Amino acid sequence: MRVANTVDLKNKTNELLRHAIAGDPVIITLRGKPAASLTRLTEAELESFVLRHAAGRPAAAPHQGPWRYTSLRTPLGTAYVAYSEQGVGNLELADSDASFERTFRRRFSQPILHDAQPPDDLRRSLTAFFSRREPFRGPVDLTLVGPFERSVLEQLRRIPRGQVRTYREVATALGHPSASRAVGNACAKNPVPLIIPCHRVVRSDGGLGGYSLRGGPRLKRRLLKEEGADLAGLNFLYLAALSSDKRPPVASRYLERTRGQSRAAHSERQHRH
């Protein structure tokens, strides 16, 4: 890491840029105090960088002090849930306490402690969520991700069970129709998969896309099938990729039919109960 003042920035711009591009960050000082920095930015990172700083939302202050966590057995394996006073902030499938703690600290650079007596309301919400497939009713703490990622994740919470959206549709709903890749990156960074259903977002070419929770695309397919999504018809979504501005009618008809079937199935389940 290098330190340069504003005079150096003016007179040695190319030299400082070479250092930054080579991976050696440069801190720029103004009147002896840090004022800015030069760091390497790849083309793959550019879209997320621009959207993150153009999101128009201040970054929320992360939880101060150790996070707490609990675990419970689920049909998917042992689920580990980290939480703060603001709500659930991370959900992972792991083999042991030590494995989860190590992953959490490495990913978020935050301390975490096991809670032998988690709050009763949290335990009830998690039990209902995993055993009875009820929507998670508790609060969620998204301070571990940036403003743009939060806006994406909040949009994903609106996708009903049994339905899917493409990365492009989510990006369009956010007002950034060309930001499909950035939406995909935000899904990959989702700290609370399952609770925020990033598995309901698929590729425009009909592919499922990736999934960050242990089990990957195979688990993503399983979750969508259990929720009643029409996976056999996802290849119709490929038609949406043929136009950058407007989804072709046949793809629109397919998506509306799928969503209508999902609503009908949900109504039937409610009637049975």
pLDDT of residue 248: 42
Residue 250: pLDDT band with limits 50, 70, 90: very low
Query: Three-state SS for 230?
Result: coil
Taken in order 137, 210, 142, 84, the sign of the CA dihedral is positive
**CB of 38 closer than 8 Å to CB of 21:** no
Does domain 2-40 correspond to CATH entry 3.40.1620.10?
yes
171, burial (CB in 10 Å: exposed 0-12, middle 13-18, buried 19+) = buried
Q: Is residue 224 within 8 Å of residue 164, measured between CB atoms?
A: yes
Q: To which H or E segment does residue 165 belong?
A: strand 165-166
Structure-token pair, residue 29:
């000082």
Nearest CA among 250, 86, 88 for reference residue 157: 88
Residue 107 pLDDT exceeds 50: yes
Of the pLDDT bands very low, low, confident and very high (cuts 50, 70, 90), residue 243 is: very low
At 118, list the tokens. Answer: 């988690």
- Residue spans of the domains in the chain: they are 2-40, 67-131, 147-272
> With bands split at pLDDT 50, 70 and 90, how would you rate the model's confidence at 46?
low
Q: Is 187 a catalytic residue?
A: no
Which residue in 153, 170, 194, 198 is the catalytic one?
198
Residue 160 has pLDDT above 90, yes or no: yes
DSSP state of 60: P
Q: Give strand ranges (E) for 13-143.
A: 26-30, 33-38, 67-74, 77-84, 87-93, 112-114
Q: Within 13 Å, how many C-alpha atoms sit on residue 201's CB side? A: 30
Mean pLDDT of 248-257: 48
pLDDT at 145: 92
pLDDT digits (tens, 9 = 90+) for 122-134: 999 999 999 888 8
* CATH class of residue range 67-131: alpha beta
Q: How is residue 196 annotated by DSSP?
A: B
pLDDT tier for residue 245 given thresholds of 50, 70 and 90? very low
Task: Express each pLDDT in 182-195 by its tens digit.
Answer: 999 999 999 999 99
- Considering only CA atoms, which of 31, 62, 8, 49 is closest in space to residue 179? 49
Q: Compute the distance between CA of residue 91 and CA of residue 83 in angstroms, rounded to an integer.
A: 9
Would you place residue 60 in the very low, low, confident or very high pLDDT band (cuts 50, 70, 90)? low
Mean local confidence (pLDDT), 223-229: 93
Domain 147-272 class? mainly alpha
Query: How many C-beta atoms lie closer than 10 Å to residue 83's C-beta?
Result: 25
pLDDT at 257: 55
Neighbours of 74 (CB within 10 A): 15
Mean pLDDT of the chain: 82
pTM passes above 0.75: no
